[in-house]
């Protein structure tokens, strides 16, 4: 698998460069050979996923004392970019596990919760997920209806969560091992919805998979499911932090989530650029390589410039993110707003350059084109990023200086 020369921008330290090379080698040897098959079959490769734990990647940002690698946001972006170069579906499962669950718990959990759960998650023994979205709400977090009521030394959770990546881990609708679950626990003194966080584990009574969601446009190699909480009883120790503290949890983790989703777009864009460049050098028409034609040059030239702009913005933002506190929502929204439509556009151009070959699964870009669409929706829609950026600029006009 050919790649483009990486600049220091994307590998700011020797350790980052070594990480990138390790993941790139693993992708070439292990991920690429299975990507098309698992997309076609809509099948999550659990065995391959657990190999990411053997490499120390499943807890890439988790402190070493809990079994993680103790690395930074740049490292998280590198892993997501390199995995998405080959298999964005597998990478989405990785992101849900490592960013949405493991990093969340590492930053917000109690010492007991971190000591008990994180080593299993970092090794791959347990598969984690995060459950926020519901059938009737998208980005309207305060509109969620899933509730949790205190009952002695337990909490009882009722509700349904939808579109949960890693919600189930096989065709038998087996739930994942542990889910970072958001639920309403009442209202505060101002009458505002109080949202709390719970660690719900597979064996907790009343927790199940409602349906495994099939026939998705893209990201078909990651499992998506509806989760059902039917009088689900969890011990009081499953509560993360204090009741009503979920908004703080969300804000601490949101920047890393959106950064790594943007890094997935970067990986998709780079692969599509590699494939269209290769094809344009091999394909001939009317006695010339098609890269000699002006329209093809426009597709390749525009795509290269956009890819480089994405790379610069993403890794500049990654270096500024502090994993322990929120502080750069403006650019974490910005990188995803920029990268996701650009990746889809570059994939579209690659299909156009490759003609009929680009339109079939065997030649990769068709699959990446489908996968890219989700990144305009998941982890915050384009419209939500536009709204957030506009609001943040109203509060902080100095950001434009």
The whole-angstrom separation of Cα 60 and Cα 49 is 14
- Look up tokens 């990446």; give the residue: 368
223: tokens are 């499992």
- The helix/strand count (H/E) of the chain reads as 12, 10
As a whole number of angstroms, the longest Cα–Cα distance in the chain is 80
**Cα of 193 vs its chain's centroid, Å:** 27
The whole-angstrom separation of Cα 2 and Cα 4 is 7
H or E stretch covering 147: strand 147-151
Is 257 considered catalytic here? yes
On the 0-12 / 13-18 / 19+ scale of CB atoms within 10 A, 395 is exposed
CA-wise closest residue to 199 among 106, 272, 268? 106
Task: Give me the DSSP letters along 296-351.
Answer: HHHHHHHHHHHHHHHHHHHHHHHHH--TTS---HHHHHHHHHHHHHHHHHHHHHHH
The whole-angstrom separation of Cα 333 and Cα 339 is 10
28: tokens are 């070439």
The whole-angstrom separation of Cα 371 and Cα 268 is 8
- Cα-atom radius of gyration of the chain, to the nearest Å? 21
The whole-angstrom separation of Cα 312 and Cα 335 is 10
In the chain the first and final C-alpha atoms are separated, in Å, by 42
> Choosing from 134, 194, 257, 275, which is the catalytic residue?
257
Residue 151 has phi, psi (to 5 degrees) of: -140, 90
Catalytic residues: 257
């Amino acid at each position: 698998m050919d790649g483009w020369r990486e600049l220091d921008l994307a590998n700011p330290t020797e350790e980052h460069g070594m990480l990138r090379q390790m993941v790139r080698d693993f992708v070439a040897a292990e991920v690429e050979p299975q990507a098309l098959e698992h997309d076609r079959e809509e099948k999550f490769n659990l065995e391959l996923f657990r190999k990411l734990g053997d490499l120390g990647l499943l807890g890439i940002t988790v402190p070493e004392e809990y079994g993680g690698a103790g690395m930074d946001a740049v490292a998280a972006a590198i892993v997501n970019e390199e995995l998405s170069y080959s298999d964005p579906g597998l990478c989405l499962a990785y992101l849900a596990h490592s960013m949405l669950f493991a990093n969340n718990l590492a930053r917000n959990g109690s010492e007991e919760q971190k000591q008990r759960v994180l080593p299993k998650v970092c090794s791959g023994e347990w598969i984690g997920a995060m459950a926020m979205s519901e059938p009737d709400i998208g980005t309207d977090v305060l509109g969620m209806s899933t509730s949790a009521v205190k009952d002695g030394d337990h909490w009882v959770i009722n509700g349904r969560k939808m579109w949960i990546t890693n919600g189930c881990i096989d065709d038998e609708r087996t739930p994942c091992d542990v889910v970072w679950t958001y639920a309403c626990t009442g209202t505060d003194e101002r009458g505002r919805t109080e949202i709390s966080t719970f660690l719900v584990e597979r064996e907790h009574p009343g927790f199940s998979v409602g349906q495994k969601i099939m026939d998705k446009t893209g990201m078909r190699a990651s499992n998506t499911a509806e989760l059902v909480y039917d009088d689900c009883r969890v011990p009081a120790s499953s509560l993360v932090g204090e009741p009503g503290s979920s908004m703080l949890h969300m804000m601490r983790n949101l920047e890393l989530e959106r950064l790594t989703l943007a890094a997935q777009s970067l990986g998709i864009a780079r692969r599509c650029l590699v494939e269209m460049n290769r094809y344009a050098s091999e394909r001939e028409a009317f006695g010339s390589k098609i890269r000699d034609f002006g329209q093809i040059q426009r597709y390749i030239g525009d795509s290269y410039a956009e890819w480089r702009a994405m790379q610069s913005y993403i890794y500049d933002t990654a270096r500024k993110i502090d994993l322990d506190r929120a502080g750069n929502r403006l650019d974490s929204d910005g990188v995803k707003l920029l990268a996701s439509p650009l990746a889809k556009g570059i994939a579209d151009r690659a299909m156009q350059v490759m003609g009929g070959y680009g339109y079939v699964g065997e030649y990769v870009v068709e699959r990446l084109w489908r996968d890219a669409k989700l990144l305009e929706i998941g982890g915050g829609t384009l419209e939500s990023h536009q709204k957030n950026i506009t609001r943040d600029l109203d509060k902080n006009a100095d950001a434009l200086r």
